[in-house]
Amino acid sequence: MDLQSATMLQALPESKTLSILNKVTRLKQEGHDIINLAGGDPDFNTPNMIIVEAEKAMKLGMTHYVNSNGIPELRNEIAHKLKIENGVNYDPSQIIVTAGGKPALYVALKSIINPGDEVLVINPAWVSFEPLITMVGGHAVSVDLNPNDHFKLTKELLDAACTERTKAIIVNNPNNPTGRVLSIEEFHNLRDVVIEKDLILIADEVYEKLVYGTHQFTSLASIPGLENRTITVQSFSKGHAMTGWRLGYLALPSELVPAASNIQGHLATCTPAFIQKAGVVALKEAKEEVEYMRSIYDKRINQVVTYLNQIPNVNCPHPEGAFYVFPEIKFRNFDSIELANYLLDEAKVAVTPGIAFGSSYLHNIRISCAMSERELEEALRRIEKALTKIV
Protein backbone atom coordinates (compact mmCIF):
# COMPACT_ATOMS: atom_id res chain seq x y z
CA MET A 1 0.00 0.00 0.00
CA ASP A 2 1.23 3.50 -0.83
CA LEU A 3 0.99 5.55 2.34
CA GLN A 4 2.62 8.66 0.90
CA SER A 5 0.72 11.89 1.45
CA ALA A 6 -0.44 13.84 -1.61
CA THR A 7 2.46 15.24 -3.64
CA MET A 8 1.05 18.74 -3.36
CA LEU A 9 1.11 18.54 0.43
CA GLN A 10 4.68 17.32 0.54
CA ALA A 11 5.51 20.88 -0.50
CA LEU A 12 3.63 22.21 2.52
CA PRO A 13 6.21 24.06 4.59
CA GLU A 14 6.65 22.70 8.09
CA SER A 15 5.83 25.25 10.74
CA LYS A 16 8.96 27.22 11.53
CA THR A 17 7.68 27.82 15.02
CA LEU A 18 7.00 24.18 15.76
CA SER A 19 10.35 23.39 17.36
CA ILE A 20 10.00 26.38 19.70
CA LEU A 21 6.42 25.43 20.59
CA ASN A 22 7.46 21.79 21.19
CA LYS A 23 10.19 23.05 23.45
CA VAL A 24 7.71 25.24 25.37
CA THR A 25 5.54 22.15 25.98
CA ARG A 26 8.53 20.09 27.11
CA LEU A 27 9.86 22.79 29.45
CA LYS A 28 6.39 23.28 30.97
CA GLN A 29 6.06 19.53 31.50
CA GLU A 30 9.43 19.60 33.28
CA GLY A 31 7.96 22.18 35.66
CA HIS A 32 9.64 25.35 34.29
CA ASP A 33 7.80 28.62 34.77
CA ILE A 34 7.42 29.66 31.12
CA ILE A 35 5.72 32.89 30.08
CA ASN A 36 4.32 32.23 26.63
CA LEU A 37 4.24 35.36 24.47
CA ALA A 38 4.27 33.36 21.25
CA GLY A 39 0.52 32.98 20.79
CA GLY A 40 -2.28 35.08 19.36
CA ASP A 41 -5.08 34.22 21.76
CA PRO A 42 -6.56 37.13 23.76
CA ASP A 43 -6.28 36.62 27.52
CA PHE A 44 -9.76 38.17 27.94
CA ASN A 45 -12.86 36.05 28.38
CA THR A 46 -15.56 36.38 25.73
CA PRO A 47 -18.00 39.15 26.76
CA ASN A 48 -20.74 37.61 28.86
CA MET A 49 -23.75 38.63 26.76
CA ILE A 50 -22.30 36.59 23.86
CA ILE A 51 -22.02 33.50 26.06
CA VAL A 52 -25.57 34.00 27.40
CA GLU A 53 -26.93 34.23 23.85
CA ALA A 54 -25.23 31.00 22.76
CA GLU A 55 -26.63 29.18 25.81
CA LYS A 56 -30.09 30.52 25.12
CA ALA A 57 -29.93 29.55 21.45
CA MET A 58 -28.84 26.01 22.32
CA LYS A 59 -31.68 25.63 24.78
CA LEU A 60 -34.11 26.92 22.14
CA GLY A 61 -33.01 24.11 19.86
CA MET A 62 -30.58 25.81 17.51
CA THR A 63 -28.58 22.60 17.46
CA HIS A 64 -29.41 21.40 13.95
CA TYR A 65 -28.02 21.88 10.47
CA VAL A 66 -28.75 25.30 9.03
CA ASN A 67 -28.15 27.04 5.69
CA SER A 68 -24.52 26.33 4.80
CA ASN A 69 -23.79 29.99 4.02
CA GLY A 70 -25.05 31.11 7.42
CA ILE A 71 -28.27 32.01 9.22
CA PRO A 72 -30.04 34.97 7.59
CA GLU A 73 -30.02 36.96 10.84
CA LEU A 74 -26.21 36.93 11.07
CA ARG A 75 -25.64 37.50 7.34
CA ASN A 76 -28.00 40.50 7.47
CA GLU A 77 -26.19 41.85 10.52
CA ILE A 78 -22.78 41.39 8.86
CA ALA A 79 -23.98 43.16 5.69
CA HIS A 80 -25.28 45.99 7.90
CA LYS A 81 -21.98 46.21 9.80
CA LEU A 82 -19.95 46.27 6.56
CA LYS A 83 -22.11 49.06 5.22
CA ILE A 84 -22.30 51.24 8.34
CA GLU A 85 -18.82 50.70 9.81
CA ASN A 86 -16.81 50.11 6.65
CA GLY A 87 -18.72 51.82 3.86
CA VAL A 88 -18.83 48.63 1.81
CA ASN A 89 -21.96 47.38 0.06
CA TYR A 90 -22.19 43.63 0.19
CA ASP A 91 -25.63 42.05 -0.11
CA PRO A 92 -26.27 39.36 2.57
CA SER A 93 -26.22 36.80 -0.29
CA GLN A 94 -22.52 37.68 -0.79
CA ILE A 95 -21.62 36.66 2.77
CA ILE A 96 -20.59 33.18 3.88
CA VAL A 97 -20.22 32.47 7.58
CA THR A 98 -17.36 30.10 8.42
CA ALA A 99 -15.75 28.46 11.44
CA GLY A 100 -13.21 31.28 11.87
CA GLY A 101 -10.98 33.38 9.67
CA LYS A 102 -8.80 30.45 8.62
CA PRO A 103 -11.59 28.50 6.89
CA ALA A 104 -12.79 31.78 5.35
CA LEU A 105 -9.34 32.21 3.80
CA TYR A 106 -9.35 28.61 2.62
CA VAL A 107 -12.77 28.99 0.97
CA ALA A 108 -11.66 32.29 -0.61
CA LEU A 109 -8.48 30.77 -2.06
CA LYS A 110 -10.10 27.50 -3.13
CA SER A 111 -12.77 29.48 -5.01
CA ILE A 112 -10.29 31.31 -7.23
CA ILE A 113 -7.04 29.35 -7.56
CA ASN A 114 -6.25 27.02 -10.45
CA PRO A 115 -3.21 24.72 -10.13
CA GLY A 116 -0.01 26.76 -10.38
CA ASP A 117 -1.65 30.15 -10.01
CA GLU A 118 0.49 32.56 -8.08
CA VAL A 119 -0.66 34.51 -5.04
CA LEU A 120 1.41 37.38 -3.69
CA VAL A 121 1.98 37.30 0.05
CA ILE A 122 3.17 40.53 1.61
CA ASN A 123 5.87 39.73 4.16
CA PRO A 124 6.20 39.88 7.09
CA ALA A 125 3.06 37.76 6.92
CA TRP A 126 1.03 35.58 9.22
CA VAL A 127 2.37 32.01 9.13
CA SER A 128 -0.68 30.31 7.58
CA PHE A 129 -1.04 32.26 4.32
CA GLU A 130 1.62 30.32 2.46
CA PRO A 131 0.46 26.84 3.58
CA LEU A 132 -3.16 27.73 2.76
CA ILE A 133 -2.12 28.75 -0.76
CA THR A 134 -0.17 25.50 -1.16
CA MET A 135 -3.16 23.50 0.10
CA VAL A 136 -5.36 24.79 -2.72
CA GLY A 137 -2.71 24.07 -5.38
CA GLY A 138 -1.44 27.62 -5.74
CA HIS A 139 2.05 29.01 -5.46
CA ALA A 140 2.88 31.67 -2.87
CA VAL A 141 5.18 34.45 -4.08
CA SER A 142 6.79 36.53 -1.33
CA VAL A 143 6.90 40.30 -1.44
CA ASP A 144 9.36 41.19 1.33
CA LEU A 145 8.78 44.63 2.85
CA ASN A 146 11.82 46.42 4.13
CA PRO A 147 12.03 47.09 7.91
CA ASN A 148 14.36 50.02 7.18
CA ASP A 149 11.58 51.56 5.07
CA HIS A 150 8.97 51.07 7.85
CA PHE A 151 7.65 47.97 6.06
CA LYS A 152 6.18 50.25 3.42
CA LEU A 153 4.15 48.62 0.64
CA THR A 154 5.39 50.14 -2.61
CA LYS A 155 4.12 49.72 -6.15
CA GLU A 156 7.64 48.81 -7.30
CA LEU A 157 7.79 45.82 -4.94
CA LEU A 158 4.36 44.61 -6.07
CA ASP A 159 5.10 45.11 -9.76
CA ALA A 160 8.37 43.22 -9.48
CA ALA A 161 6.62 40.19 -7.97
CA CYS A 162 3.84 39.92 -10.57
CA THR A 163 4.04 37.46 -13.46
CA GLU A 164 1.48 36.32 -16.01
CA ARG A 165 0.48 33.59 -13.49
CA THR A 166 -0.36 36.03 -10.70
CA LYS A 167 -4.00 35.64 -9.74
CA ALA A 168 -4.37 37.33 -6.38
CA ILE A 169 -2.76 39.26 -3.56
CA ILE A 170 -3.37 38.54 0.13
CA VAL A 171 -3.12 41.60 2.33
CA ASN A 172 -3.44 41.55 6.09
CA ASN A 173 -4.36 44.93 7.53
CA PRO A 174 -3.75 45.65 10.43
CA ASN A 175 -0.77 43.38 10.10
CA ASN A 176 0.31 40.40 12.13
CA PRO A 177 3.22 40.53 13.08
CA THR A 178 4.29 44.16 12.50
CA GLY A 179 1.14 45.94 13.72
CA ARG A 180 1.29 48.21 10.69
CA VAL A 181 -1.89 49.80 9.40
CA LEU A 182 -1.80 50.63 5.69
CA SER A 183 -1.71 54.29 4.69
CA ILE A 184 -3.81 55.85 1.94
CA GLU A 185 -0.73 55.89 -0.30
CA GLU A 186 -0.27 52.16 0.22
CA PHE A 187 -3.96 51.54 -0.51
CA HIS A 188 -3.52 53.35 -3.79
CA ASN A 189 -0.37 51.39 -4.64
CA LEU A 190 -2.29 48.19 -4.09
CA ARG A 191 -5.32 49.35 -6.02
CA ASP A 192 -3.22 50.41 -9.00
CA VAL A 193 -1.46 47.05 -9.24
CA VAL A 194 -4.64 45.04 -8.68
CA ILE A 195 -6.41 46.91 -11.47
CA GLU A 196 -3.47 47.09 -13.88
CA LYS A 197 -2.74 43.36 -13.57
CA ASP A 198 -6.41 42.35 -13.28
CA LEU A 199 -6.04 40.60 -9.91
CA ILE A 200 -8.26 39.60 -7.02
CA LEU A 201 -7.50 41.03 -3.60
CA ILE A 202 -8.01 38.96 -0.47
CA ALA A 203 -8.24 41.39 2.43
CA ASP A 204 -7.64 39.73 5.79
CA GLU A 205 -9.04 42.29 8.21
CA VAL A 206 -9.31 40.13 11.33
CA TYR A 207 -7.56 42.75 13.49
CA GLU A 208 -9.88 45.55 12.38
CA LYS A 209 -11.06 46.36 15.90
CA LEU A 210 -7.52 46.79 17.22
CA VAL A 211 -6.17 50.10 15.94
CA TYR A 212 -4.39 52.71 18.07
CA GLY A 213 -3.56 56.38 18.33
CA THR A 214 -4.54 58.53 15.38
CA HIS A 215 -4.60 55.57 12.99
CA GLN A 216 -7.89 54.57 11.48
CA PHE A 217 -9.05 51.36 9.99
CA THR A 218 -10.20 51.43 6.37
CA SER A 219 -11.61 48.36 4.70
CA LEU A 220 -9.84 47.62 1.41
CA ALA A 221 -13.15 46.89 -0.32
CA SER A 222 -14.18 50.50 0.32
CA ILE A 223 -11.41 51.87 -1.91
CA PRO A 224 -12.93 52.93 -5.24
CA GLY A 225 -11.92 50.43 -7.88
CA LEU A 226 -11.47 47.56 -5.42
CA GLU A 227 -15.11 47.00 -4.46
CA ASN A 228 -15.74 44.34 -7.11
CA ARG A 229 -12.33 42.68 -6.86
CA THR A 230 -12.01 42.19 -3.13
CA ILE A 231 -12.78 39.20 -0.95
CA THR A 232 -12.99 40.47 2.61
CA VAL A 233 -12.08 37.98 5.33
CA GLN A 234 -13.18 38.59 8.90
CA SER A 235 -13.17 36.84 12.24
CA PHE A 236 -14.67 37.26 15.69
CA SER A 237 -11.54 35.68 17.24
CA LYS A 238 -9.38 38.70 18.00
CA GLY A 239 -11.52 41.81 18.57
CA HIS A 240 -14.30 39.95 20.39
CA ALA A 241 -12.00 37.51 22.25
CA MET A 242 -13.78 34.54 20.64
CA THR A 243 -10.86 32.40 19.39
CA GLY A 244 -12.32 29.11 20.66
CA TRP A 245 -15.79 29.71 19.25
CA ARG A 246 -14.58 29.44 15.67
CA LEU A 247 -16.60 32.14 13.95
CA GLY A 248 -15.64 34.22 10.94
CA TYR A 249 -16.87 35.06 7.48
CA LEU A 250 -15.97 36.08 3.97
CA ALA A 251 -17.73 38.67 1.84
CA LEU A 252 -17.10 38.27 -1.85
CA PRO A 253 -18.07 39.44 -5.35
CA SER A 254 -21.37 37.81 -6.38
CA GLU A 255 -19.74 36.02 -9.36
CA LEU A 256 -17.66 33.98 -6.89
CA VAL A 257 -20.49 33.11 -4.50
CA PRO A 258 -21.68 29.86 -6.19
CA ALA A 259 -18.19 28.29 -6.07
CA ALA A 260 -17.46 29.48 -2.54
CA SER A 261 -20.85 28.40 -1.33
CA ASN A 262 -20.34 24.91 -2.79
CA ILE A 263 -16.98 24.55 -1.09
CA GLN A 264 -18.39 25.70 2.24
CA GLY A 265 -21.34 23.30 1.95
CA HIS A 266 -19.23 20.24 1.16
CA LEU A 267 -16.51 21.14 3.63
CA ALA A 268 -18.40 22.26 6.70
CA THR A 269 -22.14 21.73 6.01
CA CYS A 270 -22.65 24.84 8.12
CA THR A 271 -21.25 26.83 11.02
CA PRO A 272 -23.05 25.89 14.29
CA ALA A 273 -26.28 27.87 14.51
CA PHE A 274 -26.05 28.76 18.21
CA ILE A 275 -22.58 30.20 17.64
CA GLN A 276 -23.90 32.28 14.74
CA LYS A 277 -26.69 33.53 16.99
CA ALA A 278 -24.03 34.58 19.52
CA GLY A 279 -22.25 36.33 16.65
CA VAL A 280 -25.31 38.51 16.08
CA VAL A 281 -25.11 39.71 19.69
CA ALA A 282 -21.35 40.18 19.37
CA LEU A 283 -21.88 42.55 16.43
CA LYS A 284 -24.88 44.37 17.86
CA GLU A 285 -24.25 44.61 21.57
CA ALA A 286 -20.59 44.11 22.47
CA LYS A 287 -19.18 47.40 21.19
CA GLU A 288 -18.25 48.75 24.63
CA GLU A 289 -16.58 45.47 25.61
CA VAL A 290 -14.58 45.42 22.37
CA GLU A 291 -13.50 49.02 22.94
CA TYR A 292 -12.50 48.21 26.53
CA MET A 293 -10.25 45.36 25.37
CA ARG A 294 -8.75 47.58 22.66
CA SER A 295 -7.89 50.25 25.23
CA ILE A 296 -6.14 47.66 27.42
CA TYR A 297 -4.08 46.36 24.48
CA ASP A 298 -3.17 49.96 23.72
CA LYS A 299 -1.80 50.44 27.25
CA ARG A 300 0.09 47.15 27.18
CA ILE A 301 1.66 47.93 23.81
CA ASN A 302 2.87 51.30 25.15
CA GLN A 303 4.30 49.53 28.20
CA VAL A 304 6.10 46.90 26.11
CA VAL A 305 7.45 49.27 23.44
CA THR A 306 8.77 51.74 26.02
CA TYR A 307 10.45 49.00 28.03
CA LEU A 308 12.01 47.24 25.04
CA ASN A 309 13.39 50.43 23.51
CA GLN A 310 15.45 51.21 26.59
CA ILE A 311 17.30 47.87 26.29
CA PRO A 312 20.55 48.29 24.32
CA ASN A 313 20.47 46.98 20.72
CA VAL A 314 16.69 46.64 20.70
CA ASN A 315 14.68 48.66 18.20
CA CYS A 316 10.94 48.27 18.63
CA PRO A 317 8.68 50.26 16.27
CA HIS A 318 5.36 51.29 17.78
CA PRO A 319 2.57 49.16 16.30
CA GLU A 320 -0.44 50.96 14.88
CA GLY A 321 -2.79 47.99 15.22
CA ALA A 322 -3.23 44.30 16.23
CA PHE A 323 -1.65 43.17 19.51
CA TYR A 324 1.92 42.26 18.68
CA VAL A 325 5.25 44.04 18.69
CA PHE A 326 7.99 43.08 16.22
CA PRO A 327 11.30 44.41 17.53
CA GLU A 328 14.63 44.01 15.82
CA ILE A 329 17.23 42.73 18.26
CA LYS A 330 20.95 42.55 17.60
CA PHE A 331 22.38 40.13 20.13
CA ARG A 332 25.61 38.13 19.75
CA ASN A 333 24.99 37.70 15.99
CA PHE A 334 22.07 35.43 16.83
CA ASP A 335 19.49 34.90 14.14
CA SER A 336 15.83 34.98 15.15
CA ILE A 337 15.59 31.23 15.84
CA GLU A 338 18.74 31.28 17.97
CA LEU A 339 17.42 34.33 19.78
CA ALA A 340 14.00 32.78 20.44
CA ASN A 341 15.70 29.63 21.73
CA TYR A 342 18.03 31.69 23.90
CA LEU A 343 15.13 33.68 25.41
CA LEU A 344 13.29 30.46 26.10
CA ASP A 345 16.31 28.79 27.76
CA GLU A 346 17.68 31.80 29.58
CA ALA A 347 14.59 33.93 30.35
CA LYS A 348 11.93 31.22 30.17
CA VAL A 349 9.96 33.49 27.84
CA ALA A 350 8.54 32.11 24.59
CA VAL A 351 8.44 34.44 21.59
CA THR A 352 8.04 33.79 17.85
CA PRO A 353 11.17 34.06 15.67
CA GLY A 354 10.91 36.66 12.89
CA ILE A 355 11.86 34.12 10.25
CA ALA A 356 8.44 32.49 10.70
CA PHE A 357 6.98 35.57 8.97
CA GLY A 358 9.39 35.71 6.03
CA SER A 359 12.99 34.78 5.35
CA SER A 360 14.18 38.42 5.46
CA TYR A 361 13.33 38.99 9.14
CA LEU A 362 16.43 37.41 10.57
CA HIS A 363 16.78 39.62 13.61
CA ASN A 364 13.17 40.23 14.58
CA ILE A 365 11.02 38.45 17.10
CA ARG A 366 7.27 38.74 17.62
CA ILE A 367 5.99 39.33 21.12
CA SER A 368 2.26 39.02 21.79
CA CYS A 369 0.68 41.56 24.13
CA ALA A 370 -2.41 39.40 24.61
CA MET A 371 -1.21 38.66 28.15
CA SER A 372 -1.86 40.30 31.50
CA GLU A 373 0.20 43.37 32.39
CA ARG A 374 1.69 41.45 35.34
CA GLU A 375 2.95 38.66 33.07
CA LEU A 376 4.19 41.13 30.47
CA GLU A 377 6.09 43.05 33.13
CA GLU A 378 7.75 39.90 34.43
CA ALA A 379 8.54 38.73 30.88
CA LEU A 380 10.12 42.09 30.01
CA ARG A 381 12.25 42.03 33.14
CA ARG A 382 13.49 38.54 32.25
CA ILE A 383 14.13 39.47 28.60
CA GLU A 384 16.15 42.51 29.66
CA LYS A 385 18.22 40.42 32.05
CA ALA A 386 18.94 37.83 29.33
CA LEU A 387 19.81 40.44 26.71
CA THR A 388 22.17 42.36 28.97
CA LYS A 389 23.93 39.27 30.31
CA ILE A 390 27.68 39.53 30.04
CA VAL A 391 29.38 36.38 28.77
Ligand X SMILES: Cc1ncc(COP(=O)(O)O)c(C=O)c1O
Among 40, 124, 138, 353, binds ligand X (CB under 6 A): 40
Determine the Cα–Cα distance for residues 97 and 14; give it in Å rounded to an integer: 29
Q: Are 233 and 105 in contact (CB under 8 A)?
A: yes
Stretch that binds ligand X, among 66-74, 95-103, 186-194, 312-320 (CB under 6 A): 95-103
CA 41 – CA 52 distance, rounded (Å): 21
Nearest Cα to 383, choosing from 310, 285, 302, 274? Answer: 310
Residue 176 contacts ligand X per CB under 6 A? yes
189 binds ligand X (CB under 6 A): no
Work out whether 42 is an interface residue with ligand X (CB under 6 A).
no
The region of 74-82, 89-97, 235-243, 341-349 touching ligand X under the rule CB under 6 A is 235-243
Residue 138 contacts ligand X per CB under 6 A? no
**102 touches ligand X by CB under 6 A:** yes
Strand partners, 315: 328
Closest CA to 297 of 316, 328, 320: 320
Closer residue to ligand X (CB): 232 or 237: 237
Which residues, in sequence order, are bridge partners of residue 250?
A: 96, 233
Question: According to the binding rule CB under 6 A, does residue 326 interact with ligand X?
Answer: no
Which of 248, 272, 321, 358 is in the footprint of ligand X by CB under 6 A? 248
Q: Is 174 in the site for ligand X (CB under 6 A)?
A: no
204 binds ligand X, rule: CB under 6 A: yes
Confirm or reject binding of residue 124 to ligand X (CB under 6 A).
no
**Smallest separation (angstroms) from ligand X to the CB of 357:** 10
126 contacts ligand X (rule: CB under 6 A): yes
Among candidate residues 155, 218, 141, 154, the one with its CA nearest the CA of residue 181: 218
The C-alpha atoms of residue 285 and residue 289 are separated, in whole angstroms, by 9
Dist. CA 341–CA 118, nearest whole Å = 34
> What pairs with residue 202 in β-bridges?
170, 231
Q: Which of 100, 239, 354, 358 is close enough to bind ligand X by CB under 6 A?
A: 100
By CB under 6 A, is residue 361 in contact with ligand X?
no
Could you tell me how many residues of this chain bind ligand X (CB under 6 A)? 13
Q: Is 98 among the residues that bind ligand X (CB under 6 A)?
A: no
Beta strand pairing call for 166-172 and 35-36 = unpaired
Determine if 352 is a binding residue for ligand X (CB under 6 A).
no
User: Residue 368, interface with ligand X (CB under 6 A)?
Assistant: no
Q: Which residues pair with 230 in a beta bridge?
A: 201
> What is the residue type of 206?
V
66 DSSP assignment: -
Which of 68, 237, 264, 368 is close enough to bind ligand X by CB under 6 A?
A: 237
Task: Please give the residue ranges that form the binding site for ligand X (CB under 6 A).
Answer: 40, 100-102, 126, 172, 176, 204, 206, 235, 237, 243, 248
